[in-house]
Structure 1
C-alpha cells in the first residue's frame, strides 16, 4: 500500500494520470493544417486532446473532439431566465435611463450591445425550438440589427469608431489596458473562453496571439501550463499597412509581450521569427522552432507530361503575389499552365478573373475550388511545379516558411518561390527548385522559363527525398517531448 501511495504522489508508474492538452485557435480547426496536426500528434502520443475553435469547417473532423460556438449552452426561454448576479454582462439598457443616456450607452458600448442582441436572439430561437447550428446562424444575422434609424446608426457608428481608436491607442502609453481592448475586439473570444472553462487539461496551447489571452486566463484559473505557438510574426504581420500599424499593432505587441512572460514554452515556425521574437520582447529563452511540415505521405514520382502544370494552392487573397503571377503567364513558354486553388471571396475572385482577361491568358490560367486540408498533398501530386511569389515588404514575409512550401515538397513538386531567407535556405539545402528575387511579372516568367523537363524531374525526385526529413512526424517529436517534461515537472511540484 505504501508503494502504491508513493506512485500516486510521484505521478509515475501504472497509476499515473493520462496527460491532457487543450488546443485553442481562432480558426476552423479541421481546416487549419498546423492546429489539426498538433492534435493528431498528441493523440498518437497517448494524450487526451480537446480542441477549442470556430464552427464552419469544410474538412472531415479529426479523431479527437473539437468544441465550437454551437456547443455553447443556450439560455432559457424568455420569461424563464433567473437573474444571475455573477453575469458579467448586465442588462444593456437598465430602466430609468433617459433617451440621451441610452444613445450615449449605445455609442460607447457596441460590444455590450452585440452581447445583448445575441442573448435575446438565442432566447427567441430556443422558444421556437430551433437547433444549435440554426440558432448560431440566426444570432449572427440578428446581432447586426439594432433597430435604429439610418441617421442614428451613422451617428453612433462614428462615435463608436472614435471610442475604438482611443481604446486601441491606449496600450502605447498604458500597456495594461491591452487585455481589456483585446476582449472587446471580437465576441468569439468570449465564446472560446466559455467553452474552455468546461475543461481542465494539464496544458493550454494557444495558437497565435489571438488565442493567447484566452489560454492564459484559462491556465491561471486551473493552474495549467501555458504554451504558445505562433504561426506568424504577429508584431510585423501587416506593417505595410499604415492603418494596421497605427491601430492594431499596439494591442498585438502589448498582448503578445505580456502573455509570453507567463508561457512556459514558446514555439514558432522559422528561425527568423524565433530570433525576432527574442529581440523584440527580450526573452531569456529563444523560442523553439517547430516547422510547418505536413504529415509524411509516400507520394509517387510523376514524370512531366506534354503540358507542364504549375500550381499555387493556399488562401487566395491580396498580398500573395497572384496578380503578378497571372501577369507573368503571358511570358511563359506555351507548354506551361497555371492553376490557382484555394478559398477566395467573390470580390477577389472577380478581381483575379478581370486580371486573367486583361492579360489574355484565360486558356492558360484556372481558378479552382479548394480541396479538404487532408487531401492537399495528394491532389498536388498531379502537378509539376509549386509556385509562391511573396513580396519582400516586411519582416513577417521575410521570415515566412509557409505550409505550402512543405506541402509542395511532400507532393513531389519542383519549387519556384521568392528568394526570401527562410525558404531560400531550405530550397538550396535540398536542391528543390528555383528562386526569384522581386515581384515583376518578367522576373517570375524568367524563373518559370528556366525549367526544362529534365530539371523539373530532377527537382521532383529531390523533393520526394527531402520529404523524408521535412515531415510532421519528425517535427512534432520535439513539441511532444518538451510538453511531457513540462507536465512531469508541474505534477511533481
Structure 2
C-alpha cells in the first residue's frame, strides 16, 4: 500500500460531519516542522478531517535535499505548503565544508563500541548511550547511510553530505574549536526554527484557518501567532512527551526552560489537546492542571486486509529461507531502541534464529551495531533489509516469526511511549515480544498478542523470544484478531469529536 492509498483509506473513514462555519466548510491548517511527506500521523489526521468536511491543509518545512522544495505541493491528494528552510549550505558554503571536515575527523568517537563480552548490563548501556539522538530525528535518519539490501534510499542518497547532516550535532570532542562549533550549531538550529516560525505564520495566516493544528510543541508558537486577532483556535497534538524526549542534553541550560514555558502557555491557550498514549495524557493533565484529560488518538495504521505470511518480504530481503527463524525489528536504527540488547540476546538463541532490521539510520551507528554483532559471534545473523513506506510495513513484516518491540526507557517520553512498531507488527499478524513499559505492556497483555519481558538483561529478552517461538500460533491468532480493532478508523472518531466540540465553541 502506497502513501496515497493510506491517505485515501483515512479519507474514507466514516466519521461525523464537522459543523459549518457561517455556511462554509471549516478551514484547518496543520503545522509540522518537517516536510510532511512521510509523517503518517499528520497525513492521516489531515485526511480524516477532510473526510469530516473540513478544508484541511498542511504547512510544513521544505527539505530540498530530500526532494521537497519550498512552495505548494501534494502528498497524495493533500495540499502541502512548504516554507523555505534556512540553508547553511547555501548561505555559508565554506563554513559548511569546514563543518563536514570537522565532523569527519571526530566521527569515530560517535560509533557505539562493540564489547568483547556482551553479557553484562553495563556493556549494553555503554554502547547504547554513545550516539545521542538529535532534536530533528526525521531528517537525520533520512540522510543516514546503510547497506542497501532493499527499498529505501540508495547508498549515494543516504551518505551524501546535506543540510540535515550539517545540522546534526558533532561527535563529542573537547577544546575551544569544539566549543565554538557547539555554540554555532545551537545558534544555527535556533535561527533555523525561528525562520520556519516566521514563514509558517505568514503561510498559515494567508489560508485564514478556523483551527490551527500544532503538531508537537515546536509548532505551538506559530500556531498561536497565526490565530492572533482572527478568532481562530489552536489544537495541540503532542506526538511525544516533548519536554522529556530523547535529545542531546549536554549544555542545554536554557532550552529546557524555554520549552517548558512555551508548552505551559501554549497548552493552556489551546482549545483542545491530543496525545498518543494514556500515560502522556495523564502527565499533561497533571502537570498543567488541565480541566479535562487530553484526547487520546493513538498512531495506529489504517484498516486493511490481514497480510498473507506467504507474501511477506523479510526473508527475501535478508536472503533467508523457510527453515530460518526470523526475529523482526522495524523503525529507526538508532540508540534507545533496544538494538544492542537484542543483538546480545541473539547470541543466546539457536543458530537458526536471525534478526532482520527493517528501517534505516546513521551509518556510523549501524557500523557500530554490526561490529557489536560480530564480536558477539552473530555477525552473520544480523541483516539489514532496507526501508519500505510506512503503509507497506505490515505486509513486509508478515513472514517473520516474532517481532521485538523494545524502546529502552532512557527518557520519560520513551517510557510512556506507545510505538508505531507495536501496531504495525500486530497488523502484520505477528507474535510480539515487548519491553515492560506501561502503555505498551497494557496493549500486549490486554489482547494476548505476545510476551512482556523485564528489560534488565539480554537473558530476559532471549527467554521471552524462546517462549513465543515455542508456541507462536496462539499469539499469531491473537494479533490477527486485535488488528481488526486496533485501527486508525477507531481513533478517528475521537479526533473528529474533539474538532466538533472546538468548532462549536466548547473546550476539547
TM-score by length of 2: 0.69
1:369 aligns to 2:383 (yes or no):
no
Q: 2:26, 2:58 → 1: CA distance?
A: 15
Larger radius of gyration: 1
Q: Structure 1, residues 280-307: CA drift from partner, whole Å, max 9, x if none? A: 1122222111111111111135389532
For residue 138 of structure 1, report the CA deviation from its aligned partner.
12
Q: Deviations over 1:358-379 (max 9, x none)?
A: 2221221112221112222221
Aligned with residue 225 of structure 1, among 233, 241, 246? 233
Corresponding residue number in structure 2 for 1:457? 473
Matched, 1:204 2:212: yes
Verify the 8 A CA contact 2:85 2:192 in the aligned structure 1.
Answer: no
Contact 1:20–1:49 (Cα < 8 Å) also in 2: yes
Query: Does the Cα contact within 8 Å between 1:391 and 1:439 map onto a contact in 2?
Result: no
User: Deviation at 1:398?
Assistant: 2.1
1:161 correspondence with 2:161 = no
| Residue aligning to 1:344 | 361
**Matched residues in 2 for 1:14 and 1:161: separation?**
48
1:481 maps to 2:503: no
- Distance in 2 separating the partners of 1:448 and 1:159: 44
RMSD value, Cα:
3.4
Shift of 1:403: 1.0
* Alignment-derived partner of residue 295 in structure 1: 302
Structure 2, unaligned stretches of length 5 or more? 1-17, 69-73, 87-159, 168-175, 313-321
Whole-angstrom CA distance in 2 between matches of 1:208 and 1:299? 32
User: Aligned-pair distance for 1:418?
Assistant: 0.2
Task: Name the CA shift for 1:411/1:221 in 2 (closer, same or farther; >3 Å).
Answer: farther
**Runs (5+) with no aligned partner, structure 1:** 1-10, 73-136, 145-153, 166-180
Tell which deviates more after alignment, 409-418 or 341-350.
Answer: 341-350
Aligned residue-pair number: 390
The aligned counterpart of 1:94 is: none
How far apart in 1 are the matches of 2:440 and 2:184? 41
Partner of 1:192: 200
Residue 267 (structure 1) shift: 0.8
- Report Cα offsets for 1:208-230 as digits up to 9, x if no partner: 11111111111224321100010
CA contact (8 A) 1:230 1:268 kept: yes
Query: Does 2:69 align with 1:69?
Result: no
**Residue among 266, 276, 280 paired with 2:287:** 280
Residue in 2 aligned with 1:267?
Answer: 274
**Residue matched to 2:264:** 257
Contact kept, 8 Å, 1:182 with 1:251, in 2: the verdict is no
**Under a length normalisation based on structure 1, what TM-score does the superposition of the two structures give?**
0.71
1:322 aligned to which of 339, 344, 365: 339
Equivalences for residues 43-62 of structure 1 within 5 A: 43-56=50-63, 61-62=75-76
Secondary structure in structure 1 of the residue aligned to 2:399: coil
Residue 354 of structure 1: how far off its partner (Å): 1.5
Paired residues of 2:298 and 2:491 also in contact (CA < 8 A)? yes
Structure 2 vs 1, CA of residues 58 and 471 (structure 1 numbering), >3 Å: closer, same or farther?
farther
Does the 8 A contact of 2:431 with 2:468 survive in 1?
Answer: no
Q: Secondary structure at the match of 2:361?
A: coil
CA contact (8 A) 2:85 2:195 kept: no
Paired with 2:344 and 2:178, the residues of 1 have a C-alpha distance of 44
1:34 to 32, 41, 50: 41
Cα deviation for residue 244 of structure 1 reads: 6.8
Shift of 1:484: 2.2
1:231-242 residue pairs with structure 2 within 5 A? 231-238=239-246
In the alignment, the residues of structure 1 paired with residue 161 and residue 451 of structure 2 have an alpha-carbon distance, to the nearest angstrom, of 50
Q: How big is each residue's C-alpha offset from its partner over 1:239-272, in whole Å with a ceiling of 9 and x where there is no partner?
A: 8x65376443212211101111110100111111
Specify the alignment match of 1:214 in structure 2: 222
Question: Which of 384, 399, 422 is the aligned partner of 1:382?
Answer: 399
> Which residue of structure 1 lines up, in the alignment, with residue 25 of structure 2?
18
Q: Does 1:444 align with 2:451?
A: no
